[in-house]
Amino acid sequence: MNQLEQLKQRTIIVADSGDIDSIMAYQPEDATTNPSLIYKAAQLPQYQNLIKETAATVKSRYEATQIAASTIADHLAVSIGALILKSIPGRISTEVDARLSYDTEASIRKARELIDLYAEQGVGKERVLIKLAATWQGIRAAEVLEKEGINCNLTLLFSFAQARACADAGVFLISPFVGRISDWYKKSHPETVYTVENDPGVESVRAIYRFYKTYGYQTVVMGASFRTPEQVLALNGCDRLTVSPQLLAQLQQRDAQVAVQLEKPSELQPKPAAMSEGEFYWAHNQDAMAVEKLAEGIRLFAVDQNSLEALLTEYL
């Protein structure tokens, strides 16, 4: 078996792409998108008809003065998500506007709107994960949504404090960003030689996985934002891994044996007390990398959201 096939024996593989053709090629169980991926997909020739149809639907439902570019962006993200779901057996992750990352109530409203749009396309909420930035406000929004049966994927996760708070809130799934963590350490510590054995991004996910499994948290750990196939292989055994088509292709072309890196402990320990808001902010802000990368990630997703909306405005 090639390395991708070996990984699939221990880990659910998720395609990190808005490109349906790429997803179909690697047959993942789930798929995830974000504003950056939707923006890239919107520029591909094969999606132009879908964009036109989406714009026509929006224009038919709203008065011209009521239509915002963000409305058509939401409809497009759901239309692409619904198409992807025809090619995979599992779930699609669709992101709440990053500009709402510090507004709990607005994030909840947007999540419900996205679920309603999926329902209009015949897609039940059991096949959708709502992506929210793992801010304190995003985590609180997810806590409310989970109680409504709307499962969430907490993204832009860089600190152990974020992971703990997500588990306390009963979040369905988290996406720790392996590559972006590694990028920060390599830039900040150029004198250090980093290999997969001491990779800070890989170690971050391993620590979260061990904590969740030791204390019996049900939150799924899905490593994300990989830079190399070696980073992916170093997390074999993780609940899920979301991987770009480029890295999936490399793994598919390699046949070397893949060792299991993560396994559940044999005994569970009593859970620690839930973190308070003050404890969360104190612990998170002790991690300079996490503070910087969370803020940067939200800004960059917002930039791509703005670019997507500017592109879609032409269709209105």
pLDDT band at 198 (very low <50, low <70, confident <90, very high): very high
Clarify whether 40 is annotated catalytic: no
pLDDT of residue 31: 92
Contact of 163 with 206, CB cutoff 8 Å: no
Question: How far, in Å, are 205, 239, 286 from residue 220 at the CA level?
Answer: 12, 6, 25
Q: What is the mean pLDDT of the chain?
A: 94
pLDDT band at 41 (very low <50, low <70, confident <90, very high): confident
pLDDT of residue 24: 79
Record the pTM.
0.94
pLDDT of residue 265: 92
pLDDT of residue 253: 96
Q: What one-character DSSP code corresponds to residue 93?
A: E
Question: What does the pLDDT look like over 226-275, one tens digit per residue?
Answer: 999 999 999 999 999 999 999 999 999 999 999 999 999 989 999 999 99
Cβ neighbours of residue 82 closer than 8 Å, sequence gap 6 or more: 92, 118, 121, 122, 123
Query: How many Cα atoms are found within 13 Å in the side-chain-facing hemisphere of 96?
Result: 36
- Of 8, 131, 186, 264, which is the active-site residue? 131
Question: What does the pLDDT look like over 5-17, one tens digit per residue?
Answer: 999 999 999 999 8
* pLDDT reading at 20 higher than 90: no
pLDDT of residue 101: 98
